[in-house]
Amino acid sequence: MLAELGKLTGEPGRESFLRGAFTCAAGLGVTEALKWAWQIPSGKARDIALLTLFCKWSGKSTVDVLGDGGVARGGIADTLGSFLLKEGRATPEQVAAFAYDFVLGRRRALLIADAAVVLSATDPAKAFALGDGLSGNTDFLQRFATGWADHDPQAVWEWAGQIPDQETRREMQAIAMAALGESDPPTAAGYLQGMQLQGEFRASVIEELGTNWGAKDARAALEWAETFPDAADHASAKKGIRVSAPVGIGVAVGGFANNGYEVSSVMPESPASRAGGLVQGDRIVAVKDAHGNWLNSGDLNQMEFVGQIRGEPNTTAVLQVQGKDGGALRTVTITRQQLMLNP
């Protein structure tokens, strides 16, 4: 093929030859077609060859691929490799080999990691070996661990524990624990005890686990937070929990209308429900800040408004409220509590 290509001097003739040749090659199967492509030196000619293969195998036209952002940031080679993997037209091993030969830079590591994730479901050791040529590339490790942890976080934890480099080991363990925190928070909490984490990294891991656990079972998460003897750890856990199970009065508010944010619902068994004074359709037209000053709702966006209603447990939210049918303003005082948004 190279000999025939070398006989052509004009650019249009070379492109026409390549498109014709690789239209034929596409019918020979992935393995043989990529052998043909490997013979073409890197550059525009190879891109034309790979684009032709992608169009034939995907059923898309060149105009569609190039005109609508269909080519990934890593170029046509990355696009083709991702397509072969996603559609199951090539094995993970074939895709990894393709990436080593055809894809450049960071996208190479990411495509090999994606191939390794697919293989990890059946052969984790072999999957990890796909990245041997990357010399501990961080992009590969993070992508591989994250994808693998989506379906087997405990396996990722065990694998990460064998990584010699301490910093890399902790990062991979943190990925495994984040995934476990979504599926099995108590197990994740047990693993946390064995992790020698320090500083901001430790705080972020604890906070993320608190958020995930709080979304599944706020009561159990709060009990876990109380087990930390260290004040900083305790604060990180509570901070995370309050992202998914905040402290507040237990009302949901809708959009701003008629000088106030409308109460769209009152949570059963919440502070607002027990205290009374707020019903669906009421409008909260003002709220007192921490210094006792009234803030008009119209001066706050919805996030700022909700932030004023939330706060620390056993503090009071003081609201100025008007009924949905109008009438005189009334002042409602409700003590904030930890909200249990789940069973």
Evaluate whether 167 touches 199 at the Cβ level (below 8 Å): no
End-to-end CA distance of the chain: 68
Q: What pLDDT, on a 0 to 100 scale, did the predictor assign at position 108?
A: 93
CA dihedral 120, 125, 131, 132 (to 10 degrees): -170
CB atoms within 10 A of CB 10: 8
Give CA angle at 32 (112, 73), nearest 5°. Answer: 35
Residues 6+ apart with CB under 8 A from 264: 252, 253, 254, 280
Indicate the range of 69-73, 90-94, 258-262, 327-331 predicted with least confidence. Answer: 69-73
Residue 331 has pLDDT above 90, yes or no: yes
Q: What pLDDT, on a 0 to 100 scale, did the predictor assign at position 100?
A: 94
Once rounded to an integer, what is the mean pLDDT over residues 120-137? 88
Fill in the DSSP letter of residue 279: -
Question: Tokens in use for 249?
Answer: 């009065």
What is the pLDDT of the chain when averaged over all its residues?
Answer: 88
Helix axes 199-216, 185-193, angle to 10 degrees: 160
Question: Tokens in use for 77?
Answer: 């080679």
Q: What pLDDT, on a 0 to 100 scale, did the predictor assign at position 271?
A: 93
259: left (phi over 0), alpha (psi -120 to 50) or beta: left
Q: What pLDDT, on a 0 to 100 scale, did the predictor assign at position 9?
A: 53
230-265 in b/e form (b: 16+ CB < 10 A) is: eeebeebbbebbbebbbbbbbbebeebeeebbbbee
Once rounded to an integer, what is the mean pLDDT over residues 2-26? 71
Q: What pLDDT, on a 0 to 100 scale, did the predictor assign at position 203?
A: 94
CA dihedral 306, 308, 312, 318 (to 10 degrees): -110
Residue 192 has pLDDT above 60, yes or no: yes
Once rounded to an integer, what is the mean pLDDT over residues 129-143? 88
Q: pTM of the entire structure? A: 0.69
Residue 216 has pLDDT above 60, yes or no: yes
Q: What pLDDT, on a 0 to 100 scale, did the predictor assign at position 193?
A: 84
